[in-house]
Amino acid sequence: MISKLLVSKEYDGNKSPRAHSSPERPTTGEGPSRELLPRSRGARLRSQITGWTRFVTYVPVIALLAASIMLTIVGAIDTVKTGVDIFRSGIDSKSMTVEFVELADLFLLSIVLYITSIGLYELFIDPDVKLPDWLHFHNIDDLKASLASVIIVMLAVLFLGSVIEEGPAMNVLLRGGGIGGVIFALAFYLRTSHKKG
């Protein structure tokens, strides 16, 4: 009787550790888990490489920013030259107005290039860059709308310069018609994009 009790206790003692042992580890046999592991790594690598390709936009960002800076410098130099010519030779008001309208058009083009550069940087590289609210772009449509607004002003200034120069009436009319058509198309685009938004 005592021997049976001892045997039963030994059996229970040997069984209980096995029953309460740590959870079974996952099998490492040749199953689907081993086959999916290389695929998941490959997909992860492809995703990383695809994400890195967005840094290619550094090229247009830097190029457009450099062009904007150069146009700004050229515009500033031309402004100083125009001011010196005004005080030295005393050019008439009409010529002075034409000169400054052309300078305004040059600076507006510089702004267009700058907005494009900043917009591409924000959309593709760093969306958290600190900028004024009106320079925050959430998608490419926001960037196009901002560019369209500046281009409309630039075209209006360009037409103003042609009117001030008082060229042949037919040339002014044709230029005005062409510029007006482009402005109408851009304004229509802005209106439809705002309705969609």
Within-domain flag for 22: no
Pairwise pLDDT comparison (162 vs 8), residue with the higher score: 162
Report the percent of the chain where pLDDT is more than 90: 29
Mean per-residue pLDDT, 155-184: 87
Does 12 map to a domain?
A: no
Q: What is the pTM of this model?
A: 0.67
Let me know: does 164 contact 102? Beta carbons within 8 Å.
no
Residue 30 above 50 pLDDT? Answer: no
As for how many domains the chain has, the answer is: 1
Q: Looking at residue 131, what is its pLDDT?
A: 84
Query: Any idea which residue has 């924000």 for tokens?
Result: 122
- The span from the CA of 147 to the CA of 160, in Å, is 20
Give the span between the Cα atoms of 97 and 165, in whole angstroms. 9
pLDDT surpassing 70 at residue 120: yes
The reported pLDDT for the residue numbered 112 is 92
Q: Is the pLDDT of residue 47 over 60?
A: yes
User: Is 43 inside any structural domain?
Assistant: no
Q: Which residues contact 117 (CB under 8 A, 6 or more apart)?
A: 60, 61, 62, 64, 65, 68
Answer yes or no: is 133 within a domain.
yes
Kindly state whether residue 136 falls inside one of the protein's structural domains.
Answer: yes
d(C-alpha 84, C-alpha 78), whole Å = 10
Residue 35 included in any domain: no
The verdict on residue 5 lying in a domain is no
pLDDT (0 to 100) of residue 197: 59
Q: In the predicted model, what is the mean pLDDT of residues 135-142?
A: 86
Q: Is residue 41 part of a domain?
A: no
Q: How confident is the model at residue 36 (pLDDT cuts 50, 70, 90)?
A: very low
Residue 140: its pLDDT value, please? Answer: 87
The domain containing residue 146 runs over which residues? 59-196
